[in-house]
């Protein structure tokens, strides 16, 4: 992802986008319609890409014109500030979503594929290794970039490689050895490979193992039921809000022990069901959520001398 603040799109560039994309580009598009938090001001331009060829064109065109851009999938794990995002937001969801088998135990998935859909595809095909991701919201591209994980599993453990679009529009394949996965992050293993933040993840290839669909489904049902019991359902959120600190209790446990469950700013609330969820009870603004985040950070710091860092990406003005 690349997000540069302070640059807007002039009228000539808007005309070029409209000429190429027609009604698949919208200007001053409210990001509240495209994030699971249901908050966020307008993007200068919001583009829905239809295929790989169009993505290559867009990335090259954007960089040739020196414009900022931001990639989204399902709008999870994301908080857009109330003044919105300058530049171009590109949505990969829905269209760049192909999932297919790769040999006996491999899968490939485009970056816009829903993570839950990928997990269910693996179950039906008797491929084990992705059940940990059941219930994690979002798309494959975001899950790879954030090294999403749960139940002691993570995306980095099952990745075999990725394809990326470089700023010049060139598509490159990166094997797992060229990638460095760490807690909720991904980078290139070698500095000579460049900066992954300026590239766009296009596709991921997974290396799994064989297991019966019946046993995989039984395991999946157990995991999903546990998630439903422990996580807030029915309110807008971005998933777990804070990163778990190293060698300490989980962020949710620290927030709970600090007495911050139920804290509220406007319609933003620390969930009573899971303390590491901030939920939008209906009319919260991004500013409400950020103010509540800071109160939680201060509350936990005062009690445990631990400064919680947000796992949710906060972007925009």
Token readout for 15 is: 């005309």
Backbone φ and ψ of 193, nearest 5°: -80, -10
Query: Average pLDDT for residues 107-126, to the nearest whole number?
Result: 96
Whether pTM > 0.85 for this model: the answer is: yes
- Residue 270: band (very low, low, confident or very high) from pLDDT cuts 50, 70, 90: very high
Which domains are delineated in the chain?
A: 11-91 (3.30.43.10), 99-229 (3.30.465.10), 236-315 (3.90.78.10)
What's the confidence (pLDDT) of residue 195? Answer: 66
What's the confidence (pLDDT) of residue 191? Answer: 62
pLDDT tens readout for residues 160-201: 999 999 988 999 999 999 898 888 788 877 664 556 777 899
Query: Average pLDDT for residues 61-90, to the nearest whole number?
Result: 94
Q: What is the DSSP string of the chain?
A: ----TT----HHHHHHHHHHHGGGEEEEEEGGGSSTT----EEEEEEE--SHHHHHHHHHHHHHTT--EEEESSS-SEEE-TT-EEEEEEE-TTTS--EEEETTTEEEEETTSBHHHHHHHHHHTTEES-GGGTT--SBHHHHHHTT-EETTEEGGGTEEEEEEE-TTS-EEEEEGGGEEEETTEEEESSGGG--GGGSEEEEEEEE-EE--HHHHHHHHHHHHHHHHHHS--SSEE-S--BPPPTTSS-HHHHHHHTT-TT-EETTEEE-SS-TT-EEE-SS--HHHHHHHHHHHHHHHHHHHS----BSSEEE--
What's the confidence (pLDDT) of residue 259? Answer: 96
**Locus of tokens 């998933």:** 239
What's the confidence (pLDDT) of residue 6? Answer: 42
Q: Which one from 52, 81, 240, 269 is the annotated catalytic residue?
A: 240
Q: What is the mean pLDDT of the chain?
A: 91
| pLDDT over 60 at 5, yes or no | no
The crossing angle, in degrees rounded to 10, of helices 213-230 and 115-124 is 150
Question: Is 240 considered catalytic here?
Answer: yes
- Residue 136: band (very low, low, confident or very high) from pLDDT cuts 50, 70, 90: confident
| pLDDT over 90 at 223, yes or no | no
pLDDT tens readout for residues 144-160: 998 988 877 899 999 99
Question: Is 311 considered catalytic here?
Answer: yes
Contact between residue 97 and residue 110 where contact means Cβ atoms under 8 Å apart: yes
Q: Which one from 24, 184, 227, 243 is the annotated catalytic residue?
A: 184
Query: Average pLDDT for residues 67-71, to the nearest whole number?
Result: 93
What's the confidence (pLDDT) of residue 276? Answer: 96
pLDDT tens readout for residues 24-44: 999 999 999 999 999 999 999
Query: Average pLDDT for residues 116-124, to the nearest whole number?
Result: 96
């Amino acid at each position: 992802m690349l997000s540069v603040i302070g640059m807007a799109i002039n009228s000539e560039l808007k005309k070029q986008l409209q000429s190429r994309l027609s009604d698949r580009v919208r200007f001053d598009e409210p990001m509240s319609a495209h994030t699971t938090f249901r908050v966020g001001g307008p993007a200068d331009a919001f583009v829905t890409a239809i295929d790989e060829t169009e993505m290559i064109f867009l990335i090259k065109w954007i960089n040739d014109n020196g414009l900022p851009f931001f990639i989204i999938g399902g709008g999870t794990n994301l908080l857009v500030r109330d003044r919105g995002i300058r530049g171009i937001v590109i949505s990969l969801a829905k269209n760049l979503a192909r999932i297919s088998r790769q040999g006996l135990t491999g899968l490939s998935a485009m970056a816009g594929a829903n993570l839950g859909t990928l997990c269910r595809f693996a179950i039906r095909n008797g491929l084990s290794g992705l059940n940990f991701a059941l219930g994690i919201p979002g798309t494959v591209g975001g899950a790879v970039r954030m090294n999403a994980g749960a139940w002691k599993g993570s995306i980095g453990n099952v990745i075999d490689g990725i394809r990326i679009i470089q700023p010049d529009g060139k598509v490159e394949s990166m094997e797992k050895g060229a990638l460095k996965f760490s807690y909720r992050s991904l980078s290139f293993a070698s500095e000579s490979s460049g900066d992954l933040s300026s590239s766009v993840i296009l596709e991921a290839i997974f290396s799994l193992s064989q297991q019966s669909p019946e046993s995989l489904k039984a395991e999946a049902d157990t995991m999903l039921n546990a998630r439903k019991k422990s996580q807030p359902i029915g309110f807008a959120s971005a998933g777990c809000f804070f990163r778990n600190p190293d060698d300490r209790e989980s962020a949710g446990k620290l927030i709970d022990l600090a007495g911050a469950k139920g804290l509220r700013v406007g319609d933003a609330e620390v969930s009573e069901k899971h303390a590491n969820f901030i939920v939008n009870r209906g009319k919260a603004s991004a500013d409400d959520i950020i103010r509540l985040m800071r109160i939680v950070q201060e509350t936990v710091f005062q009690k445990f001398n631990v400064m919680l860092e947000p796992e949710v990406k906060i972007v925009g003005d």
